[in-house]
Amino acid sequence: MMVLISYGLKEVNLLYLLPLTEAGWPNIISGSTETLMAMFGFEFFLVVFPMVEGSSGGKLKSVALASAVVVVLYAFTVFICSTAFSPSNLT
């Protein structure tokens, strides 16, 4: 999947990211809080935590690493899509 997404790197135009705060800070913050909870996956962790063997610290490290990987993959995908496609293509 990452190879296919990386194919968009040849079409990157960083000017498509400007202006950064076009929607305004309140809209950006409200959108980021909704997205943040979707990426964490804490609901699944709370259900599975008692059934997984191992120390609590090890479980927490695994969940933190998995969440970090998901955040990086989402951010990479959004960055490539936002810079490869023009704003008119995205709407």
> In the prediction, which pLDDT does 34 show?
76
**pLDDT digit string, tens, across residues 58-84:** 888 988 888 888 888 888 888 888 888
Helical H segments across the chain, by residue range: 2-6, 25-40, 42-48, 56-84, 87-90
pLDDT of residue 63: 84
Q: How confident is the model at residue 39 (pLDDT cuts 50, 70, 90)?
A: low
> Is residue 17 pLDDT above 80, yes or no?
yes
Burial of 48 (0-12, 13-18, 19+ CB in 10 A): exposed
Is residue 2 over pLDDT 80? no
